[in-house]
Structures are given as structure tokens and as C-alpha cells.
Amino acid sequence: MLESQKEQIAQALDEYMKVHDVSQNKVSKGSGVSAGYVSQIVKRKWNEVPVADGKTISIGDSHFRKLQAYMGLSLDVFQTKNFMDVQIALDDARRTVAYYIIDGDTGAGKTFAITDYARKHSATTYVVKCSNAMTATQMVRAICREVGVGELGATGAVEDRIKAIATKMNREQALLVFDESETMVKKSRAFGYIKDLYDRVEGRSSIVIAGANGFLDKLRQKANYNVESFPQVVRRFAANPVMLSGGVDMQDAIDICAAHGITSKKEVAVLVAASPNYGTLFSKLKKLKADQEILATANA
């Protein structure tokens, strides 16, 4: 889930508690999110939850999705071709117990589509967002938190954690999605753990690995050199990869711009020419909207 989406949920929560005159404790009971987490989200400190030994962790996306469902909040969604390709792949993985790799350039809309799908299927869909700073062991702990195997991450050996994760996933016939997985390519052990988890859930629960900027090519290169578990990961997940298109589709742009009040095809063409991806297009549209609001205020 994007930080901007978390902020949108936090803002909606502020307004919801004010309008409905409910306390954080009532929100906690109604949503199933711990009172401590609700407090951290209200304070915009979801990446600074204190744990033992003076360390901190980030609140998992599943808790934000629970709040989103509790409030009946919908984030803005535009069904671009990339958006639909991701949604179809995730739905197929969940329904048929399949395993996919999704690859697309930065800004192609992977994270947004994954977040939206997880919101709609929050009971059995878990998303782990990888990062450059994350180690292989920290990745396993993040899975524990997201799946709910120990609120702050299970203790004990990694093998025991993977076993506990698989047991819960299999009980639910769950879908686990790794987002921004390109950040873990140099951490071979991480993909070894993904392979181990696959071996425990095969045929019972689904896993999808999403990455950016030639992610699949990097995995295949590692596999060709027989680097640790990469050959097995590629064989298990890359039989039918989902390759997202680069750039912005013109029809998508026309629909998106129309929703932002821009109907001139010439204006849309100018925006598309200046936008290498959907992320940039949305940023430009948000800036245009902000500029218009400032101008309207100044003229009022």
C-alpha cells in the first residue's frame, strides 16, 4: 500500500471519528485493529511502532485495509489495462491456486492494483511490501505480521516461522503477494525462503511475486547461473509471467483526465507526452488540481 493511500485512510479516520463521535477504542472494537495500532495511525506514526529492545516496526497493510472496510472507504480507482491485468492475475491465483510473477516498470500501477485487490479480498489476501533495507529474515517477520502469525512477528527459527505461516495460509486457502520484490534480488536467501514457503503451500495456497524494471530478467539471469534457489523459483513462478505495458495508454489517459475535468484531446496528448508512466500522469493531474484550487481561492 502506498504511503499516500495510508494517509488518505488516516485522514478519513480522523473525519469518521469526528462525524460519528466515536473513540479510538470503539474504532478498534468495530474494525478488529488493535487500539495501539489505531492510536499510531491517528498520530501518523504507522512506521514507528515501538517493540522490544528499543526497536520499531511498521504496521502491516492488512490493518489499514480493515479500517478502510470498517469506514466503507473507497480509494480512487481507474481501471487501466495494467490495473486489469494485475487484478485478473491475482484473482486467477487466488481462485485456482496458481503462482505468478508480475513485472512492470516503476509507475505502471502494480502497487495500486495490488492494494485495491487486497482491499476487496481482505479476509484471505496478504501483501508484503519489500524494501532495500529489508533483510531476508526481516522479510519473513513481515510475512508473520501480515498473515497474523504473532502480532509483532513470530519468535524462533525461520523454519518454524515459515511452517506457521504456511499452516495459517493453508487453513484459509490464502493469497500472499510480495510487492516491490526487485529490491530483494541481491538477497538470495530471501528467494530461498519464498521457495521454502511455496513447498509448504503448493496446491493449497497461492503466492504472487511482483517486481519492477526488468525484474523477471534479473531472476532468469540468476537462474541461468544456478544461483542458490533462483532456478526453482523461476520454474515454479514464471511459467506464465504477467508483463505490464510501459508508458501510458491513450484511451486510459482520456478516461482518467476526463475524471479530472480535462476533456480536450490536445491537452490529454500534451500530458501523455510529458508522462512516462501512470504515476507521473497522476502526479501532474494532482498538481493541476491543486493549482486550480489555489487560483480559485485567490480569486474568491
Q: Which of 298 and 109 is assigned the larger pLDDT?
A: 109
Is residue 190 scored above 90 in pLDDT? yes
User: What is the model's pLDDT at position 122?
Assistant: 83
b/e sequence 156-165, b meaning 16+ C-beta within 10 Å? eebeebbbbb
Sheet containing 206-212: give its strands across: 125-129, 175-179, 206-212, 99-104, 242-243
pLDDT of residue 123: 85
User: What's the CA gap between 86 and 80, in Å, rounded?
Assistant: 10
Measure the CA–CA gap between 83 and 109, rounded to whole angstroms.
6
For 157-166, the pLDDT digits (tens) are 899 999 999 9
**Taking all residues of the chain, what is their mean pLDDT, rounded to a whole number?**
89
Task: Examine the pLDDT at 154 and tell me if it is beyond 60.
Answer: no
pLDDT of residue 146: 92
Average pLDDT over residues 253-271: 87
- Name the pLDDT band for 40 (thresholds 50, 70, 90): very high
* β-sheet bridge partners, residue 206: 175
0.85 cut: is pTM over it? no
Q: Does 252 or 19 have the greater pLDDT score?
A: 252
Cell numbers at 51, concatenated: 517493540
Chain length of the chain:
300
Confidence category of residue 76, pLDDT binned at 50, 70, 90:
low
Per residue in 204-253, pLDDT (tens digit) is 999 999 999 999 999 999 999 999 999 999 999 999 999 998 888 898 88
Residue 153 pLDDT: 47
| Model confidence pLDDT, tens digit, residues 88-134 | 999 999 999 999 999 999 888 899 899 888 988 888 999 999 999 99
In the chain, % of residues over pLDDT 70: 94
Q: What is the pLDDT of residues 170-188, one digit of tens each?
A: 999 999 999 999 999 999 9
Q: What is the 3-state secondary structure (H, E, C) of the chain?
A: CCHHHHHHHHHHHHHHHHHHCCCHHHHHHHHCCCHHHHHHHHCCCCCCEECHHHCEECCCHHHHHHHHHHHCCCCCCCCCHHHHHHHHHHHHHHHHCCEEEEEECCCCCHHHHHHHHHHHCCCCEEEEECCCCCCHHHHHHHHHHHHCCCCCCCCCCHHHHHHHHHHHHHHHCCEEEEECHHHHCCCHHHHHHHHHHHHHHCCCCEEEEEEECCHHHHHHHHHHCCCCCHHHHHHHHCCCCEECCCCCCHHHHHHHHHHCCCCCHHHHHHHHHCCCCHHHHHHHHHHHHHHHHHHHHHHC
Distance CA 143, CA 178 (A): 9
What is the gyration radius of the CA atoms in the chain, in angstroms?
A: 20
